[in-house]
Structure 1
């Protein structure tokens, strides 16, 4: 969730809003430091973890709406104070914003649109460094058939930038989720343009085209993982042809096929999409753990 553009829109529309930030988290807690919720007169966006903690934070934020710029620091032990089973401790900062803050908010919104950045000492009385902006991985989905459509919808609310490629322009729906870029030219152009750390999930209308895309993606070091829909038999055939074509053995061995996490046997497109979206989340988290450097360079500003 991009926080400052959301606050900017809220101030333009309502003249007031509030933000709840988890500025410190210890032990077992629902959300990590940096989780945020933006509260407006019409509702709220984001979450700091749900339950009693979020209910109380929401009430505190609502109490600050339409009041002069204010900050409230809330320290909570989830077990003794709230009766929640998590058992950890959190420090929340609840801040109100009014129309007079719009210029500063617009500056921060523009900065966030450019990419991730950090601020230190922004909240009075707290010496914390805050990170803003999403570090989103690019996922390339090749194929606009029934599974491709279902997968794109499954990824719609997740923090990924999706490139959806198919050479048949008529195969795409009239509208797509906001995190999706449609490409209906040569799919190999999309492969060549992939940024570092990308994931490829191939499910075109043609096995021959699948093989072409997989071959090109495995040769492109910008792809962290390459996956293709199909059975164990399809995988065996692809492995042989890829090796014969001179693709590095290590890259061929890393090919994901079949796709999706285990334990889901349904052949429904929506079920395959859910299993595959779960696999994409797992791959993304594993990559972030192995290579903790952010996908995009973070800038620090005061």
Structure 2
């Protein structure tokens, strides 16, 4: 059996969030032991706190905490009896401890100069990064922890694989590819934040083409282009990268712990001043 302590170590090494569930107190004639633990991830369950309906309810609460990206530990008292399928009275107190919760799932499309400057900055944050490009030779030999390299001949197909609520950054070497990625991301419309590298002129051109494809104005306004905060000046790759990273930090600090969807994620960009500088690819 994969014990809870091994599972916790494996999940944390992969940067996969989970919840550690512990029996803190047990009262009543039940076979459960105080101190028993189990680990709950989004898709798996490791070890046991005694099975039955209580374990099922604990798993449900843990996965709800993961979905809500909750950071704080939580105590829950369960009164044993008919509600938990028990034939006797008593109570069980469980402690739920979120472990390794990331604040952002980030997809970076493009491994050019700005991408190579940006990804190490993002990797230093509490996030997981998917770094996507069709050109394997553009990636550095070693990647920071928490960064997954995805070499794909069809980067647009990777949009469908992104978790809901992702932060999407498009900065490829090809304007047509940038356009197709933009269309795919806006079509999903379940991202937390989407930034496209480029100038105001590029934005105007893209908006015109996207309107021709039927995208509504409200959807287009969710696109940040130029992206990054205006207070960070300059056109060097590292300067642009710092500007983009700063906007992402401001965004996830504002929205962390909330459910992000097409309704409530739109106003996030309004928290930040519009960028006044052009961005070179």
TM-score after normalising by structure 1: 0.56
- Please, which of 18, 35, 38 is the counterpart of residue 116 of structure 1? 18
Which stretch of structure 1 is more off in the superposition, 105-114 or 231-240? 105-114
Q: Tell me, which stretches of 5 or more residues in structure 1 are unaligned?
A: 1-102, 294-302
Deviation per residue, 1:117-165 (Å, 9 max, x gap): 154676xxxx886432213421111111100110111112111111111
Q: How does 1:74-223 map to 2 (within 5 A)?
A: 105-106=5-6, 108-110=8-10, 115-119=17-21, 130-185=97-152, 186-223=154-191
Match of 2:90 in 1: none
SS in 2 for 1:267: coil
Deviation per residue, 1:246-299 (Å, 9 max, x gap): 123221111101111121111111111111111111222222254399xxxxxx
Taking a change above 3 Å as real, the CA distance of residues 261 and 121 of structure 1, as seen in their structure-2 partners, is farther
Answer yes or no: is the 8 Å Cα contact 2:232–2:242 preserved in 1: no
TM-score after normalising by structure 2: 0.60
Q: Tell me, which stretches of 5 or more residues in structure 2 are unaligned?
A: 25-74, 76-94, 262-281
Deviation per residue, 1:26-47 (Å, 9 max, x gap): xxxxxxxxxxxxxxxxxxxxxx
Distance in structure 2 (CA, Å) of the matches to 1:220 and 1:196: 9
Distance in structure 2 (CA, Å) of the matches to 1:107 and 1:166: 32
Over aligned residues, Cα RMSD in angstroms? 2.7
- Tell me how many residue pairs correspond in the alignment: 189
SS in 1 for 2:183: helix
Answer yes or no: is the 8 Å Cα contact 1:142–1:202 preserved in 2: yes
Q: How does 1:29-108 map to 2 (within 5 A)?
A: 105-106=5-6, 108=8
C-alpha displacement of 1:225:
2.1
Taking a change above 3 Å as real, the CA distance of residues 133 and 237 of structure 1, as seen in their structure-2 partners, is same
Taking a change above 3 Å as real, the CA distance of residues 248 and 224 of structure 1, as seen in their structure-2 partners, is farther
Deviation per residue, 1:179-227 (Å, 9 max, x gap): 1111121111211111110111111111111111111111013322221
